[in-house]
Copies of this chain bind each other. A is one copy, B any other.
């Protein structure tokens, strides 16, 4: 059934039913022009938005509507997690071509619901409109205690650089999607495709890191390890050296790289969308912080470099140091 058959308000009613009744804190939820929410005045309010546009961020044939819904929510939850915050309320701005089926929208909201429920987030509103292509724009609110807020700007020379999980998996997944001849049936392929299509926001890890009050800065890896580390360096007025052999590459990413004849380090440094947390901590407390977070969340944490006065360098196992520029891996490769 096409969405034009039930119309905008029919579709909103359907979504309202799928999402279920609003919880505590929601005075007015889905179906109105404005969500009315109980504020909690002793905390900072967090607000973020991130969009997924067909043909730019995703190919409609490469990602299911369920996966798209999950991913659209996850990348915003990741932004709140990277502040040490807790996500609370979500609004969905959905633009759809006229020929979209109601089932497509149903699956998309199933994905949104799956991801938001896992994070304790309530979907409280949004709007729907027509457009030439599918577009999912998510607005997410959150909150954080003042003492747990983690910004980009607190990194200091001598701090260690830490990262959760592994980097490069999403890049490996994207490379598989973009290579029509690639074999996507193996376990490793499935693992990196999952990392790309339904990334897991590091919400409990972000909270655990913030609660220790040891970390000095934090971001999520959305643009790429080097690019996002560059944002921390710029905001903190510092530089960084990353150790190439310390970057946590998963066995799956190494296997996919070998099968495709690619360098997995390139994905780890530059391809982005891993949604891991990258953060800094004083040198004498970095190992303790990593251990505390691993213990609480079971997610591995790796020390991958060090904050320096200025510049961005990649240190190779040989000891050779190569300049890195945000998004400049290609530039680096041409040397």
Contacts and interface: CB of A to CB of B under 8 A. Distances in A.
A46 interface: yes
A83 B91 CA distance: 17
Contacts of A125: 47-49
A41 B39 contact: yes
Contacts of A44: 27, 36-39
Contacts of A38: 44-45
Contacts of A142: 34
A25 B152 CA distance: 19
Q: Which of A32, A142, A143, A144 has the most CB of B within 10 A?
A: A32
A55 B136 CA distance: 18
Nearest to A79: B33
Q: Which size bracket describes the interface of A in this complex?
A: 35 or more
Contacts of A53: 95, 129-131, 135
Q: Which of A36, A137, A152 has the most CB of B within 10 A?
A: A36
A40 to B, nearest CB: 6
A47 B91 contact: yes
A126 interface: yes
Interface in A28-76: 28, 32-51, 53, 55-57
A239 to B, nearest CB: 18
Contact of A45 (B37, B46, B133, B152): B37
A151 interface: yes
Contacts of A40: 39, 41
A219 interface: yes
Contacts of A121: none
A82 interface: yes
A270 B133 CA distance: 27
A54 to B, nearest CB: 9
A37 B33 contact: no
Interface in A203-249: 219-220, 222
